[in-house]
């Protein structure tokens, strides 16, 4: 089921965009990573992601796209969605189900609003339609650490805010190793992406989303909060909200039922929203 693994690059004028592919299914699924993409792109991640999402591999050919490797000052999540649309067309992906996590969910919102012909079903996980005090505090602290070049504190804060206390306590010994693997030569790309999160706003366009939409939120999300998910659920026509009151921002890794819920939604099966 893990055949079809590919790491690729798409040319974008003076820069390029990394992407990966795995799975052999006839359907197409596009996965969009979060702000961590500013530190390390998806290049080389096809095999580990195929293992993590092996249940998708039989029915889907899965693509995951990074942002372009060089970003311009003032770049927005809407610009990133336009680049994604261009990348999908370059690879001749006419239409795909789209699964965005955190910042990836912000980009997915714009894609569904501005390029509806490309989006089948839409899954927005631990994301938001605009900035809020919880997001400002989290991203503001990460920006401060990045500007100071303090990668250890950046990784520690990232792990502490994204995951549960139990997960953080059991995994914080990995921070030095994670730091060595993810420390970029420059934080410029990360900082531009972080600022794009702060200026993100799709509030006026959510009602135009035509795609069947699943929104997944955690009640203990210390990165983006939960209210943004409730706002999206109220404004996107027919959207379904799957709420995990005891989970945080990292529920896509920690919640055992998560993958099953996503697959059920993609297959058109009923979702238990309790």
pLDDT < 50: residue spans in the chain: 1
Determine the Cα–Cα distance for residues 261 and 252; give it in Å rounded to an integer: 11
Residue 250 lies in a domain: yes
Tokens encoding 126: 């631990």
Q: Which residue has the tokens 């293992």?
A: 51
Q: Is 220 helix (H, G, I), strand (E, B) or coil?
A: coil
Residue 148 lies in a domain: no
Per-residue pLDDT at 274 = 61
pTM of the model: 0.95
Total domains in the fold of the chain: 1
Identify the CA nearest to 246 among candidates 266, 272, 217.
217
Q: Which residue has the tokens 């404004």?
A: 235
Per-residue pLDDT at 1 = 44
8 and 18 Cβ atoms separated by less than 8 Å? yes
Strand ranges inside 139-212, DSSP E: none
Domain containing 59 — which CATH number? 3.40.50.1820
Residue 154 lies in a domain: no
Q: Are strands 6-12 and 15-22 parallel, antiparallel or unpaired?
A: antiparallel
250 and 243 Cβ atoms separated by less than 8 Å? no
What's the domain range around 97? Answer: 6-130+201-267
């Amino acid at each position: 089921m893990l055949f079809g693994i590919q790491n690729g690059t798409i040319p974008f004028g003076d820069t390029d965009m990394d992407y990966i592919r795995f799975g052999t299914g006839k359907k197409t699924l596009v996965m969009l990573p979060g702000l961590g993409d500013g530190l390390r792109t998806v290049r080389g991640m096809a095999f580990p992601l195929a293992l993590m999402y092996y249940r998708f591999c039989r029915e889907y050919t899965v693509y995951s796209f990074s942002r372009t490797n060089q970003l311009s000052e003032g770049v927005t999540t809407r610009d990133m969605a336009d680049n994604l649309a261009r990348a999908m067309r370059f690879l001749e992906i006419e239409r795909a189900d789209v699964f965005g996590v955190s910042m990836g969910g912000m980009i997915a919102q714009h894609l569904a609003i501005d390029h509806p012909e490309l989006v089948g079903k839409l899954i927005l996980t631990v994301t938001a339609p605009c900035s809020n005090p919880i997001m400002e505090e989290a991203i503001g602290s990460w920006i401060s650490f990045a500007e100071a070049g303090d990668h250890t504190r950046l990784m520690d804060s990232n792990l502490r805010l994204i995951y549960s206390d139990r997960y953080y306590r059991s995994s914080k010994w990995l921070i030095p190793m994670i730091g060595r693997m993810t420390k970029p030569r420059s934080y410029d790309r990360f900082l531009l992406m972080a600022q794009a999160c702060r200026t993100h706003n799709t509030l006026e366009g959510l009602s135009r989303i035509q795609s069947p939409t699943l929104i997944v939120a955690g009640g203990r999300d210390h990165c983006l909060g939960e209210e943004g998910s409730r706002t999206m659920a109220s404004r996107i026509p027919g959207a379904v909200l799957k709420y995990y009151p005891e989970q945080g921002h990292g529920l896509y890794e920690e919640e055992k039922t998560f993958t099953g819920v996503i697959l059920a939604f993609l297959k058109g099966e009923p979702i238990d929203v309790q």
